[in-house]
Structure 1
Amino acid sequence: MRGTFPLGTVAGVRVLAHWSALGLAALIVALLGGAVLPRALPGAGPGAYWTVALAAGILFMAALLVHELAHAVVARRCGLKVGSITLWGLGGFTELEEQAETPRVELAVAAAGPLTSLGVAAVGFLVYLVLPRPALPASAVAWLAGMNLLLGVFNLLPGAPLDGGRVLHALLWWRFRDVRRADRGAEQAGRALGMALIAIGVFGTLALGWFGGLWLLVLGWFIIGAARQELTVKVARSGLRDLSVRDVMTPDPERAAAWVTVEEFADQVALNSRQTDFPVVSFAGTPIGVVSLAALASVPPERRGATRVDSLDITRRPMRVVAPDDDATSLIERPALRQLIVVVEEGRLVGMVTGADLERILRQAFLRADRPGP
């Protein structure tokens, strides 16, 4: 996901935060400090409200992280590779670099997060019982326990991409011994869940004047889109299972030598090429960046003869490096907009994967996946 920044490493897993996570945290603090706590205990004073609200907001974001860490820890214990955890405006997600090979593993990984949230809620309610009341800390703990209970229950709703959708997928996979049937069943359940949330949101907003209905509208729309995208990735992954990057890449692409001038490269290569992006290579043939036609054209004509390619900002465009013998499914595991994929073997550029290459293999993957299996 673009727009993220690192928070560190927890239990060996890289943790990132999207900018929208800051908005979520600010919304929680504002809700607690401006409404929930003043109603629960009037007359405590603004300083006390906002101090407790800030602490509760931090604890809530920590609870979201614990939820995702549960997924990551169980996945690693089951032998799956975990990429990272990202917190964002609608909660968080754990990036798994491998898919579960059995329904039992998928069920364990999927259920770990909601069960952890329910456990956190139970601990919160126990803490609430022993705290003195009425008091702001007790009110904040009760709110946190209730939100974790809601988080655990909501995530168990049976529809992709929620954890409950993955639980449903594992159960369908186990019942029918057909992962493709499970894929479509989880996607259909996710679409139905999203439409139900949208209907409730519309009714709540228009008929009851409930502001929370807008949140359900956004959430339902997101679930429908994410369920469709998840099915697309799964079907594509199935169709690409026996291919390598070498089968997909454009071999020996036109490249820009770092030391040539913009004018020389334009006359000899760029003006006669069908490419819009060119890997920039060093003397050793190793890719060190990307230069686009737009970047070349931005150099004033009178300066092109004296401007070397490597003096341009060739690192602005994201570049991902893969090996030719990597599994082709790796190309769709972590897709990134505007990211050029270059293929390197023994330190030298041997190919690149363009947007047209990705579109072609995805269409071919759907053709392969739709064929009857043995």
Structure 2
Amino acid sequence: MLQVLRVAGIPVRVDLSWLVVFGLISWSLAAGYFPRVLPEASAGMAWMHGVVAALLLFVSVFLHELSHALVAIEQGVPVSGIRLHVFGGVSEMEAEPPTPRAELLIAAVGPLTSFVIAALCYGLGQALGGPPWVAALTGYLAAVNFIVALFNLVPGFPLDGGRLLHALLWWGSGRQEWATLWASRAGSVFALSMIALGIVRALGGEMVGGLWFVFIGFFLHQAARASRELIGIRARLEPLRVAEVMTPVDADAVDAPVGSPADAVEPDASAWQAFLKLGRVSAGRVPVVDGGRLVGIVGRRELREALTERPDADVERRAA
């Protein structure tokens, strides 16, 4: 993971998988799209256009995620960073939106941003005229941002449309767990449909496109299933205090304050908050700090033990 810049205090990181996708998109544009729409262009010019278009595509993805992050912060949800990866990007929020309205606003602004970028690119291409490569570049960016916006509006977790569906179900029912369950089920249905379509396309001769559909569908299905599993984890951990699950530190061994680092939790915080914190650190455990003094350690081992002691056979039934 490489941090490339910081915007409005939000670190922007690039996953190594992004470099692979950047290369593939540049190659596909240089070998397919630009030679088709600009037959007079040399191979070198086609590659230059392909690289520029791929870069601008990822700038568009970054702006999509930045809009999520800025609205999340405005709604009181801390954001630890923006990560660009093989499937696009993600805004790494440190907590769930506090209300359905907050989630609705956070989810809606991403597709809206992509629609605005698509409209601006289309309008810019029409207004500028000039060399054919301008129309080819702006036309590509307009089309792909429009498709990104539409794809993200599919009503299934973890897409923005799934978040919108979740917010509306939560708003209408007042039951967050129930809303999560059904939004994740919708995400699984969409993901399995993508996998089936990908297999059909692959069998029909579109091997690359078909396998890409299967790949994305598998990723979405895994994410939707993880959302359902989080219902049970949250139900079991939220009632517990960190002090109940942490491994205490001998007070005699720590006779000086250690401060309160950003990745620390307080003993009165819920174990669910510790779980969310652990998802954002690589060490596998975080310090428990009380009044600036280290009092314990909580990590994946402690949380696994807490989950084992609190079976959740009825959690999904209760959410349904």
- TM-score, structure 2 as length reference: 0.88
Residue 15 of structure 1 corresponds to: 12
- 1:328 and 1:84 map into 2 onto residues whose CA distance is 23
Identity of aligned residues (%): 36
Q: Does 1:125 align with 2:122?
A: yes
Report matched runs for 1:89-238 at 5 Å.
89-132=86-129, 135-238=132-235
Residue 357 of structure 1 corresponds to: 302
Report the alpha carbon displacement of residue 12 of structure 1 after superposing the two structures with TM: 2.5
Report the alpha carbon displacement of residue 202 of structure 1 after superposing the two structures with TM: 0.3
Q: Does 1:328 align with 2:271?
A: yes
Report the alpha carbon displacement of residue 354 of structure 1 after superposing the two structures with TM: 4.1
Q: Alpha-carbon deviations, 1:88-116, whole Å to 9, x = none?
A: 01011111122222212111111110111
* Residue from 337, 343, 357 that aligns with 2:288: 343
Q: Does 1:40 align with 2:42?
A: no
Report the alpha carbon displacement of residue 357 of structure 1 after superposing the two structures with TM: 1.5
> What is the identity, as a one-letter code, of the residue corresponding to 1:42?
P
Contact 1:49 1:136 in 2 (8 A): no
The structure number with the bigger radius of gyration is 1
- 1:254 and 1:88 map into 2 onto residues whose CA distance is 43
Q: Alpha-carbon deviations, 1:34-76, whole Å to 9, x = none?
A: 2210111112112322222222121111100100011111112
> What is the identity, as a one-letter code, of the residue corresponding to 2:19?
L
> What is the identity, as a one-letter code, of the residue corresponding to 2:244?
D
Q: Secondary structure at the match of 2:84?
A: strand
* Stretch of structure 1 that moved more, 139-148 or 44-53: 44-53
Q: Alpha-carbon deviations, 1:216-273, whole Å to 9, x = none?
A: 1011101111111122224423433343211111223799xxxxxxxxxxxxxxxxxx
- 2:11 and 2:140 map into 1 onto residues whose CA distance is 29
- 1:146 and 1:101 map into 2 onto residues whose CA distance is 34
Report the alpha carbon displacement of residue 349 of structure 1 after superposing the two structures with TM: 4.0
Report the alpha carbon displacement of residue 83 of structure 1 after superposing the two structures with TM: 1.8
Q: Which protein is richer in helix relative to its size?
A: 2
Question: How many residues end up aligned between the 2 structures?
Answer: 314
Contact 1:321 1:342 in 2 (8 A): yes
Contact 1:249 1:357 in 2 (8 A): yes
- 2:15 and 2:112 map into 1 onto residues whose CA distance is 25
* Residue from 59, 67, 74 that aligns with 1:70: 67
> What is the identity, as a one-letter code, of the residue corresponding to 2:28?
L
Report the alpha carbon displacement of residue 196 of structure 1 after superposing the two structures with TM: 0.2
Q: Secondary structure at the match of 1:322?
A: coil
- 1:282 and 1:20 map into 2 onto residues whose CA distance is 42
Q: Alpha-carbon deviations, 1:260-288, whole Å to 9, x = none?
A: xxxxxxxxxxxxxxxxxxxxx8885869x
> What is the identity, as a one-letter code, of the residue corresponding to 2:35?
P
Contact 1:187 1:231 in 2 (8 A): yes
Report the alpha carbon displacement of residue 208 of structure 1 after superposing the two structures with TM: 3.3
- 2:289 and 2:87 map into 1 onto residues whose CA distance is 37
Q: Does 1:246 align with 2:243?
A: yes
Which sections of structure 2, spanning at least 5 residues, go unmatched?
A: none
- 1:189 and 1:78 map into 2 onto residues whose CA distance is 26
> What is the identity, as a one-letter code, of the residue corresponding to 1:225?
Q
Q: Secondary structure at the match of 2:271?
A: coil
- 1:20 and 1:282 map into 2 onto residues whose CA distance is 42
Which sections of structure 1, spanning at least 5 residues, go unmatched?
A: 256-280, 288-319
- 1:54 and 1:229 map into 2 onto residues whose CA distance is 35
- TM-score, structure 1 as length reference: 0.76
- 1:251 and 1:91 map into 2 onto residues whose CA distance is 41
Identify if the C-alpha distance between structure 1 residues 103 and 236 changes in structure 2 by more than 3 Å, giving closer, same or farther.
Answer: same
> What is the identity, as a one-letter code, of the residue corresponding to 2:287?
V
